[in-house]
A = this chain, B = another copy of it.
Amino acid sequence: MNFRSDNTAAIAPQILSALNKANTGRAAAYGGDAWTQLLDEAFSQVFERAVRVFTVATGTAANAIAIASLVPPWGAIYCHREAHIEVDEAGAAGFFSGGAKLSLLDGAHAKVAPSALRAAPTGLDIHASKPAALSISQASERGAVYKLHELEALGTAAQELGLKYHMDGARLANAIAHLGCAPAAATWRAGVDVLSFGATKNGAMAGEAVVAFDLDRVEAIEKQRKRSGHLLCKGRYPAVQLLAYLKGDLWLRLAADANAMAQEIAAAAGALVSAPVEANMVLIKPGASGLQRLRDAGVSFYDWGPGEARLVTSWQTSAVELNALCALLRTLR
């Protein structure tokens, strides 16, 4: 029973099929192909405004390029203490930005609280790094989803503090599916300047993109993508993945399915649940012996805190393993 991460899943069949169909004839390199040419338009429709889209290989690349387009080398980026950019990207933001630093904020369930942001240092003196951006993860690293009013409150605070606003949307589909709102409402209408848009965890092979709402960032994004080696010559392959992902709201349907499975797990886990279950991720805290029983039963997962496990669903989670996990969890609580 593999609940370790949504990134262990294979490519969703709809996306793989599109990949295969695109494998015909020659295509202009470096984004000159017909598929890439459709990307801006496809995303602009989804987001109900003109956007520019730049595919990259990973979420780390998307985050680092996005952030570096928003901050100077002497900048500071406010993010949650548990943010992926702080914990899991080996300093990529510092690298791409030429030395900017992450300033860590607190907040329940790995969500930045607007009050924490407002209480942070202002960096107005010459000796300090200059606070330059806010970066949040939607959904968060603990499976929580920012409500629209929270996103907007952060956007307002960011604007008042002179900060640009970045969203790490590695699991944006799960968040949007949970909120049931327009993608626009949960992103640029709340003030987001640049978005890391993730598809890999939700069915793509390597489908990540930087989405620029602030079009003044385009040159920086484009050049940083090139010089960090993320401009593919065979651009049709990342492009076709994202097109298939958006087509007919596949992204939201896959995410909704995974979210629903997480709800089933949460119901089975009952009081063991240790964070809001709002995306495709369930944190449970059955203690060390409970974790051991899960392991003994063949469940794979990440330890997330002391006595705590993270269980993640994906489009590929089977009913059989879901049911088996739920049955097991009911015995633990």
A7→B127 CA distance, assembly (Å) = 15
Q: Write out, one digit per residue, whether chain A residues 169-181 have a CB within 8 A of any chain B CB (1) or not (0).
A: 0000000000000
Q: How far is the CB of A233 from chain B (nearest CB, A)?
A: 4
Say whether, besides A7-B234, A101-B102, A220-B72, A227 and B30 are in contact (CB < 8 Å).
no
- In the assembly, how many copies of this chain are there? 4
Q: Which residues of A contact B (CB under 8 A)?
A: 2, 4-5, 7-11, 16, 19-20, 22-30, 56-62, 64-65, 72-76, 87-92, 94-95, 98-102, 104, 126-130, 200-201, 205-206, 219-220, 222-224, 226-234, 237, 316
Point out the residue from B87, B130, B200, B231 that lies within 8 Å of A234, measured CB to CB: B200
Point out the residue from B10, B64, B88 that lies within 8 Å of A23, measured CB to CB: B10
Q: For chain A, what secondary structure do more than half of its interface residues adopt (helix, strand, loop), or is it mixed?
A: loop
Point out the residue from B101, B219, B222 that lies within 8 Å of A94, measured CB to CB: B101
Q: Which residues of B contact A5 (CB under 8 A)?
A: 29, 233
A59→B229 CA distance, assembly (Å) = 7
**Interface contact A58-B233, CB-CB below 8 Å:** yes
A305→B281 CA distance, assembly (Å) = 41
